[in-house]
Amino acid sequence: QKEVEQNSGPLSVPEGAIASLNCTYSDRGSQSFFWYRQYSGKSPELIMSIYSNGDKEDGRFTAQLNKASQYVSLLIRDSQPSDSATYLCAVNKVNFGNEKLTFGTGTRLTIIP
Amino acid sequence: EPEVTQTPSHQVTQMGQEVILRCVPISNHLYFYWYRQILGQKVEFLVSFYNNEISEKSEIFDDQFSVERPDGSNFTLKIRSTKLEDSAMYFCASRLYRGNEAFFGQGTRLTVV
């Protein structure tokens, strides 16, 4: 089982609609979860962090976390063409007190005007 | 807004040569990382660094790799004898506290020929 799993897409969503991105993780001990946006050839850009079960909203973005199901999601409301990018789910993995981000392969999102 | 800066943005080197990739993390951050991303693949952890020593390193980070924080601001990754398979984007990241958001630099594209 992959440590962090995402559907690679591509996911196509009409402009103005809601884009829904999903991620599952294998390490039950993980405590911190992040969504990064990556444009082609660029670096990961942090868009959301979530640490506790439930929803966290920031502007058009909502992150959802369900630790019992080991599931993280990202909703993008009122999708814009500029949201077209690859979205990376990252899970903070702790190993003997040391921690690092483990990334999924990313979901490529295309917003259709 | 504080940011992680990396130089150079692109480095071309001959196989067997040494390269040094440079990073200036966000000034009050305490934890530093190098990740890499081979074209079309996911972002992979290389090494973490805290309190002037390596906290954790991945299997990729073999004896050809080393990191240093020589002067309290720069954080460098050295590859002693580059191989073709070292061609990738290398990202530096920093975070203030363990477990919270990590911010990435814009990356160095390393091409080994």
Q: What is the pLDDT of residues A29-44, one digit of tens each?
A: 898 999 999 999 999 9
The answer to whether residue B72 scores a pLDDT higher than 90 is no
Question: Which of A1-10, A18-27, A45-54, B32-41 is predicted with the least confidence, judged by mean pLDDT?
Answer: A1-10
The answer to whether residue B97 scores a pLDDT higher than 90 is no
Distance from CA of B9 to the nearest CA of A (A): 11
Return all residues near B1 (Cβ < 8 A) that are at least 6 apart.
Answer: none
The answer to whether B111 touches B10, Cβ cutoff 8 Å, is: yes
Q: Which residues pair with B104 in a beta bridge?
A: B93
pLDDT for res B2: 83
Length in residues, chain A: 113
Nearest CA in chain A to B38: A41
Q: Is A102 on the interface with B (CB under 8 A)?
A: yes
Q: How far apart are CA B81 and CA B18, in angstroms?
A: 5
pLDDT for res B70: 86
The answer to whether residue B23 scores a pLDDT higher than 90 is yes
Mean pLDDT, chain B, rounded, equals 95
pLDDT for res A89: 98
Model confidence at B71, in pLDDT bands (50, 70, 90)? confident
**Model pLDDT for residues A87-108, shown as the tens digit of each residue:** 999 999 887 778 899 999 999 9
Residues 3-62 of chain A whose Cβ lies under 8 A from any Cβ of chain B: 31-32, 34, 36, 42-46, 49
The answer to whether A107 touches A86, Cβ cutoff 8 Å, is: yes
Residue to mutate among A25, A100, A105, A108, with most B CBs inside 10 A, is A100
The answer to whether residue B98 scores a pLDDT higher than 90 is no
Q: How far apart are CA A108 and CA A19, in angstroms?
A: 11
Q: Within 10 A of B80 (CB to CB), how many other CB atoms are there? A: 13
Contact B56 A49 (CB under 8 A): no
User: What's the mean pLDDT in A34-59?
Assistant: 97
pLDDT for res A17: 98
| % of chain A surpassing 90 pLDDT | 87
Model confidence at A80, in pLDDT bands (50, 70, 90)? very high
pLDDT for res A52: 95
Q: How far apart are CA B16 and CA B64, in angstroms?
A: 11
User: What's the mean pLDDT in B74-83?
Assistant: 97
pLDDT for res B1: 78
User: What's the mean pLDDT in A41-60?
Assistant: 97
The answer to whether residue A5 scores a pLDDT higher than 80 is yes
